[in-house]
């Protein structure tokens, strides 16, 4: 009970207050877009840049950590894709969007604050390592699969520029690349710039959590509840369970093991809806799944916190 009250509940109280504020009209729905743009395009990129530029790459980018998390994520993508296609008879483009929901954990807005509150800021190296390749890898898989599924007269080779544009127009991806450039080059960020970036970074998580709550208010639980149940089960149970098994098999150290499992146990991020919306497929079931899974994470995260070492 203490882990729920001390770690999980404060994160969801901020998110829930954003939901309540928009629902009751205290914070206009249109303002949420501006808040999320600030968080996603400015504050969170500063957080990622600062974290990666200071990350000890010899320890943070542990191959066993990345394999444990991403091998499990790809298995979940395939499970969601094939389940949507062969169990629920969805068209292939819908199936890809549903698979993407199962692939894309909310590693940043939920995984980071829960890990930080549970074990402190020093425990975030594994989270940051996962986040460093999360968007490029997941979008690369999702966009490639969708281009194949749509098969609109374009070869995969013709789709490569579209894939690259989608990834490298993203402010978070650019911040990650800049952080690696500083880290690997050994350059020192001038103190005044570093202090300004730190100030922006401190605003990132509360602003993003409040904004995420307001964004979720827009989406109502609609669509095929059996499909939603499958997505929630894969995201909140199968992904962390697979990551747990792989992490144990690869002998991850305790800190990396915690980061991998907690990140895998998070609900799908709002980017899953943005992906479905970009292609105009499965939007209702994806939006509903993000909302339902985010609410359920309050209980499932408590479970994973209680069983982790």
Average pLDDT value over all residues in the chain: 85
Q: Are the C-beta atoms of 108 and 44 separated by less than 8 Å?
A: yes
Alpha-carbon span 96 to 80, nearest angstrom: 8
3-state helix, strand, coil in the chain (%, to 5): 85, 0, 15
Instruction: Break the chain into its structural domains and give their ranges.
Output: 2-307
Tell me, rounded to whole angstroms, the distance of Cα 51 from its chain centroid. Answer: 17
**CA–CA separation, 185 vs 192, rounded Å?**
20
CA neighbor of 67 nearest in space, from 262, 234, 256, 272: 256
Tokens of 105: 């954990």
User: Token pair for residue 77?
Assistant: 């993508």
CA angle 49, 111, 206 (to 5 degrees): 70
Q: What is the full DSSP assignment across 158-173?
A: HHHHHHHHHHHT-HHH
- The proportion of the chain whose per-residue pLDDT surpasses 90, expressed as a percent, equals 34
- How high is the pLDDT of residue 222? 63
In whole angstroms, what is the distance from residue 71 CA to residue 149 CA?
22
d(CA 69, CA 263): 8
Cβ distance 46 to 61 under 8 Å?
no
C-alpha span between 32 and 35 (Å, rounded): 5
pLDDT of residue 54: 80
Which CATH number describes the domain made up of 2-307? 1.20.1530.20
Query: What token pair was written down for 80?
Result: 């969601």
Give residue 223's pLDDT. Answer: 62
The reported pLDDT for the residue numbered 65 is 94
Residues paired with 50 in a beta bridge = none
pTM of structure: 0.79
What integer pLDDT is reported at residue 64 of this predicted model?
Answer: 94
**Which CA distances in Å does 140 have to 111, 150, 164, 215?**
21, 15, 8, 25
Give pLDDT tens digits for 149-200: 876 545 566 666 766 776 677 777 788 888 888 888 888 888 898 899 899 9
Q: Residue 218 gets which letter from DSSP?
A: T
What does the pLDDT average to over 83-94? 94
Cα 118 to chain centroid, rounded: 18
For 237, residues 6+ apart whose C-beta sits below 8 A from its C-beta are: 300
Instruction: Give 268's strand partners.
Output: 105
Name the percent of the chain lying above pLDDT 70: 89
Please write the tens of the pLDDT for every residue from 196-254: 989 998 888 788 888 878 877 876 666 688 999 999 999 999 999 999 999 999 999 99
**pLDDT tens readout for residues 56-78:** 766 667 899 999 999 999 999 99
């Amino acid at each position: 009970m203490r882990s729920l009250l001390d770690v999980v509940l404060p994160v969801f109280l901020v998110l829930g207050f954003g939901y309540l504020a928009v629902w009751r009209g205290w914070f206009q729905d249109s303002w949420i877009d501006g808040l999320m743009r600030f968080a996603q395009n400015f504050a969170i990129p500063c957080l990622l840049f600062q974290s990666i530029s200071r990350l000890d790459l010899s320890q943070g980018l542990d191959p066993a950590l990345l394999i444990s998390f991403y091998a499990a994520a790809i298995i979940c993508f395939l499970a969601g894709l094939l389940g949507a296609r062969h169990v629920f008879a969805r068209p292939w483009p819908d199936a890809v969007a549903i698979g993407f929901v199962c692939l894309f954990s909310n590693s940043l807005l939920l995984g980071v604050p829960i890990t930080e509150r549970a074990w402190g800021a020093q425990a975030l190296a594994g989270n940051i390592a996962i986040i460093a390749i999360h968007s490029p890898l997941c979008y690369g898989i999702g966009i490639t699969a969708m281009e194949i599924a749509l098969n609109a007269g374009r070869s995969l080779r013709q789709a490569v520029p579209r894939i690259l544009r989608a990834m490298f127009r993203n402010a978070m991806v650019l911040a990650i690349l800049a952080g690696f450039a500083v880290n690997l080059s050994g350059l020192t960020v001038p103190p005044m710039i570093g202090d300004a970036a730190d100030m922006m970074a401190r605003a990132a998580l509360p602003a993003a959590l409040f904004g995420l709550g307001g964004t979720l208010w827009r989406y109502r639980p609609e669509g095929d509840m059996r499909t939603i149940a499958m997505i929630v089960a894969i995201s909140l149970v199968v992904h962390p369970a697979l990551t747990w098994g792989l992490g144990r098999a690869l002998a991850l150290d305790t800190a990396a093991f915690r980061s991998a499992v907690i990140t895998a146990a998070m609900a799908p991020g709002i980017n899953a809806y943005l992906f479905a919306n970009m292609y105009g497929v499965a939007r209702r079931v994806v939006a509903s799944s993000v909302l339902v899974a985010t609410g359920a994470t309050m209980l499932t995260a408590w479970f994973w916190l209680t069983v982790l070492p």
